[in-house]
Amino acid sequence: MKNVNIIYESNRGYQSLDITDTLYKERVIFLDDEINPTTALETIKQLVALDRESNDEIKLFINSPGGCVTSGLAICDTIEIIKSPVTTVCIGLAASMGAVIFLHGKNRQMMKHSKIMLHDPSFGGGNLRGKKPHEIETELNELREVQETLVNIISEKTGKPKEEVYEITKKDTYFDFEKARYFGIATNILTKF
């Protein structure tokens, strides 16, 4: 994506500043891509850097299709251990691991037409062809462990019993704001910046 610059007038004349830098100064960061080791590390670096500056609120805007669970959980863990309260804002779609990260906000806001999507984790380990039954079983057990971890997080953050979370995550389940609020996913709708 091309960098967008803002031109503003100061006592030194007209200056150009990257829009990402401008928003960063206002303690706003964006997670607007697939979650992978690179995007997770960038998000974590920004969270930690802002937390070192002050313990004021950080706003994390999320528009993500999800991605790597371990990378996403690293972001979640960072949100949990920094001192600054993090408000998560769903813009567009926070799906899969993006939704789990969204749930870690102290305040969880959604834009009017945004959606949250929850589902079970899927096998991303490649081709099972040529694998022996015990190898397949080992991978399936690892996937079940990941599922249990995510169900526990969703249950804790929403206040819903694990059985209900298991039922909801069997398939892709989409939540608009009203459904998300009812299920305990979102706290309020974003009405102004």
DSSP readout, 136-158?
Answer: HHHHHHHHHHHHHHHHHHHHHHH
The encoded tokens of residue 49 equal 């850097």
Q: Dihedral of CA 92/95/98/103: which sign?
A: positive
Please name every residue paired with 35 in a beta bridge, in sequence order, or none if there are none. Answer: 67
Domains of the chain, start order: 5-189 (3.90.226.10)
Percentage of the chain exceeding pLDDT 70: 88
Q: Phi and psi dihedrals of 96, rounded to 5?
A: 55, -120
| CA distance readout (Å), 154 to 143, 144, 151, 157 | 17, 15, 5, 5
**What's the confidence (pLDDT) of residue 24?**
85
| Closest to 89 (Cα-Cα) out of 141, 148, 23 | 23
Alpha helices, H only, the chain: 19-25, 37-53, 69-81, 97-102, 133-158, 162-168, 177-183
**What's the confidence (pLDDT) of residue 122?**
80
Indicate whether 125 pLDDT > 80: no
CB 94 within 8 A of CB 114: yes
Strand, coil or helix: 160:
coil
Indicate whether 6 pLDDT > 60: no
Indicate whether 53 pLDDT > 70: yes
| CA distance readout (Å), 119 to 19, 82, 87, 108, 168 | 34, 27, 23, 19, 7
Catalytic residue among 64, 71, 96, 114: 96
Digit-coded pLDDT (tens) for 132-178: 888 888 888 888 999 999 999 999 999 999 999 999 999 999 999 99
Q: How confident is the model at residue 82 (pLDDT cuts 50, 70, 90)?
A: very high
Taking all residues of the chain, what is their mean pLDDT, rounded to a whole number? Answer: 90
- Mean pLDDT throughout 6-12? 64
**Distance between CA atoms of 61 and 147, rounded to whole angstroms?**
25
**What's the confidence (pLDDT) of residue 113?**
95
Residue scoring higher pLDDT (46 or 21): 46
Range with the poorest average pLDDT among 82-86, 138-142, 183-187: 138-142
Indicate whether 75 pLDDT > 70: yes
Q: pTM of whole model > 0.75?
A: yes
Whether 64 is catalytic is no
**Distance between CA atoms of 84 and 79, rounded to whole angstroms?**
8
Residue type, 26: E
**What's the confidence (pLDDT) of residue 134?**
86
| CA distance readout (Å), 168 to 58, 101, 137, 150, 164 | 30, 18, 25, 12, 6
Q: How confident is the model at residue 1 (pLDDT cuts 50, 70, 90)?
A: very low
Whether 134 is catalytic is no
Indicate whether 193 pLDDT > 50: yes
